[in-house]
Amino acid sequence: MVQPILAVIALVLVSVGLIGQAIEMRKIRIKKYGENSIGHPNIFLDKKNFKWYALIGMGFALSLGAQFF
């Protein structure tokens, strides 16, 4: 019973994290480089992205935990 619940929560966390990171990266790119620029590879290391990385990591950890319970 716990396994499906953890899997669904993990899926939600990863989905929200990926969508949030994409929106945040778009905002950073437009703010720093303008609308028509592709940005810079260092955009992934911006401090605003780390909260989304943490959310994605928690989702993956829950997914792994759901497989073992």
> How far is residue 31's CA from residue 21's CA, in Å, rounded to a whole number?
15
Rounded distance, CA 61 to CA 54, Å? 10
pLDDT tens-digit profile, the chain (69 residues): 788 999 999 999 999 999 999 999 999 988 888 888 877 888 889 899 999 999 999 999 999 998 887
Q: How far apart are CA 30 and CA 40, in angstroms?
A: 11
| Number of structural domains in the chain | 1
42, 39, 21: which is closest to 29 by C-alpha?
A: 39
Entry pTM: 0.85
Domain that holds residue 17: 2-68
